[in-house]
Amino acid sequence: METENMKPETPKTKKPRKRRWGRKLVLLVFLAVAAHLWLNSGSAPREVVEYYHKGVEYVTNIKDTLNENPTVRSVITYVTNLLSKSSTPTPAAQTQARQVPSVALNIVESVSLATERDYIGRVEAVQTVQLKPQVAGQIAEVHFKEGSIVKAGQLLFSIDNRQYQATVDLRKADLAKATANYDRALKYRDRLKTADKRSVSASDLDIAESDVLQGKAGVDLAKASLKLAQIDLDHTKVTAPIAGRIGAAFFTKGNYVTPTGVQPLAVIVQVDPIRVVFALSDRDYLDAYALFKSSEDVYNAKILLSNGVEYPFTGNRDFEDNAMNEHTGTMTVRLSFENKEGELIPGAMVRVRTRPASAHVAIVIPQEAILADAQGDYVYIVDTENVTRQRRVSLGAEEGATREVVSGLSEGERVVVYGLQSIRPEMKVNPK
C-alpha cells in the first residue's frame, strides 16, 4: 500500500519543476531579445548594460544543468548566441550610450570697466576754530544762539571794555603830549638856525637838533602805545573768524576769562564745504597712480549716510596724504563735498562709494565661469567643434557679478558658465 501511494507523488513533484524552468527560459529569451535590441539602438543606460552581462553569466551557469533536454538545450544555445552577439556593442552604440553633457556658454566681450568700490569714511571739517579770549575781563554779553550757523565777522562775545577804553584815551593823551613836545623842539631849532650865527653857539644848535629827534621818537612811541591799546580794546569784541556752525558757549555772561585759560569760549566748525576722509589700500592707490599724478578728479565718488540714504552730491578731489601709513599700508585720501543743508556732520561715519573718473575697456566674464587649482585660475572654453579646452587666465578687479580678465582670453571665445561639474578637458559637449 505504501508503495502504491508513493508512486503517483513522484511525477507531481517533477512536473511543476519543469514548468518553472520553462517559464524562466521564456522570460530569459524575452529579456535577451530586448537587451539585444536596446543595446544596439545605443540608448541603453548603464544599469541595462550591467543586467545584460549578468544575463549572459546566468545562461552560462544554467546551461549545464538543463542540457539533458534537447529542446531546452536548443533554446539555451539560441539565447547564448544572441547574447554573445550583443556582448560587445558597436562603436556607434558605445558613443551614443555615453550621454553628451549640456553646458551653458558665455561669449567673451570687452566692456567699459569702471570698478565700483566701497570704503569706510569719516566726515571732518575743513576748518575748526577754538575761540579764546585775547584779553582778560568779564563777559558782558553772548550774542549767538548755540548750535546755529554764524557768518565770518559776526559778533559772538563782548568782554567788559571800560578798562581798555580808558587805556586808549590815556594813550591818545600821551600822543598829543608827545606831538606838542615835538612841535616845540622843531620851532626852537628853526629859530636857532635863522638867528645870527655870532649869537648861537654850535653846542646850542646840536642840543636843539637832538631835542627834535627825541620829540619825533616820543611821537612814534605814543602812536605805538595807542595802537596796542586799541588792539586790546578791539579784542573785547570776540567775532567769528570763519563761517560755520558754532557749538555750545562754555562761558556765559558774568564769567571772568583770561588768555591763559585752557577752555575755549566756543568752537566753530566749517560745514560747507566739508571733507570726507578714507583710507585707500596701497594696491588700489597704485592701480590709479597715473590719475593721482594728474590734477584732475580721480573718482566719481558718492557717499551713503549711516541711515542708508545716498548723498545727492558728488565729491571733488581735495588732496592725498604724502606718505603711506606704515602700520596699515594705506594712503589717506580726502574728498570735498558741498554741504549747504548741513546733512554731513563732522565726526560722522559714512560709506564712500568710488568709481574711477576715467574707465578703461577690458574683457570681463561671469564669476561662475572661473575655477581654481594649485596652479592658479582657469576657465573652460568650447571650440568650434564643441570640444572643451582648459585655459589659464590672469584676473583683475571685480565688477559686480563679473571679473576682469587681464590675459588669457580673447573677444568672441565661448566660456563655459554652467555645467562645469560634468566636464573635463578635451570633452565633447552640447552647448546651449
What contacts 96, CB < 8 A, 6 or more positions away? 42, 43
Least confident among 38-42, 74-78, 332-336: 38-42
Least confident of 66-80, 90-104, 114-128, 360-374: 66-80
Architecture of the domain defined by 270-354? Beta Barrel (2.40)
Mean pLDDT for 370-392 is: 93
Question: What is the reported pLDDT for 30?
Answer: 57
Please name which of 423, 372, 94, 410 lies closest in space to residue 431, comparing C-alpha atoms: 423
Instruction: Give the Å distances, CA to CA, from 359 to 96, 99, 116, 309, 403.
Output: 49, 45, 11, 26, 15
Write the pLDDT tens digit of every residue in 274-317: 999 999 988 888 877 877 887 777 888 899 998 889 999 988 98
Q: Residue 35 — very low, low, confident or very high, per pLDDT cuts 50/70/90?
A: low
In DSSP notation, 167-182 reads HHHHHHHHHHHHHHHH
Confidence of residue 15 (pLDDT cuts 50, 70, 90): very low
Phi and psi at residue 273, in whole multiples of 5°? -75, 170
> For position 58, what pLDDT does the model report?
59
Q: Name the range with the highest mean pLDDT among 80-89, 255-264, 395-404.
A: 255-264
Residue 21's pLDDT band (cuts 50, 70, 90) = low
The mean of the pLDDT values for the chain is 82
What are 166-206's pLDDT values in tens digits?
999 999 999 999 999 999 999 988 888 888 777 778 888 88
CATH fold label, 161-235: Helix Hairpins (1.10.287)
Choosing among 3.40.50.1220, 3.30.70.1450, 3.40.50.740, 2.40.420.20, the CATH entry for 102-112+360-431 is 2.40.420.20
pLDDT of residue 116: 78
Architecture category of domain 134-156+238-262 in CATH: Beta Barrel (2.40)
Residue 377's pLDDT is 94
In this prediction, residue 54 carries a pLDDT of 59
Residues of the chain above pLDDT 70, percent:
76
As given in the structure block, the three cell numbers for residue 432 are 546651449
pLDDT score of 36: 57
Residue 11 confidence (pLDDT) above 70: no
Res 74: pLDDT: 64
Q: How confident is the model at residue 43 (pLDDT cuts 50, 70, 90)?
A: very low
Work out the angle at residue 310's Cα, subtended by the Cα atoms of residues 294 and 324, and round it to the nearest 5 degrees: 40
Predicted pLDDT of residue 297: 79
Q: Give the number of other CB atoms < 10 A from CB of residue 335.
A: 24
Q: Is the pLDDT of residue 10 over 50?
A: no
Work out the average pLDDT over 123-129. 93
% of residues, the chain, pLDDT over 90: 49
Per-residue confidence band for 31, with pLDDT thresholds at 50, 70 and 90 = low
- Tell me if 159 sits within 8 A of 238, measured CB to CB: yes
pLDDT of 67 > 60? The answer is no
Q: What is the DSSP-derived secondary structure letter of residue 248?
A: -
Q: What pLDDT shows up at residue 260?
A: 92
Average pLDDT, integer, range 98-125: 85
Read out DSSP for 200-216?
A: S-HHHHHHHHHHHHHHH
Fold match flag (102-112+360-431 vs 270-354): no
Residue 93 in this model has a pLDDT that exceeds 50: no
For position 140, what pLDDT does the model report? 96
Q: Among all chains, which residue has been given the C-alpha cell 585775547?
A: 134
Comparing CA positions, the residue from 392, 382, 379, 377 lying closest to residue 432 is 382
Contact 261, 133 (CB under 8 A): yes
Q: Does the structure show a pLDDT above 70 at 105? A: yes
DSSP 46: H
Q: Where are the domains of the chain?
A: 2-97, 102-112+360-431, 134-156+238-262, 161-235, 270-354
Confidence at 344, pLDDT banded by 50, 70, 90: very high
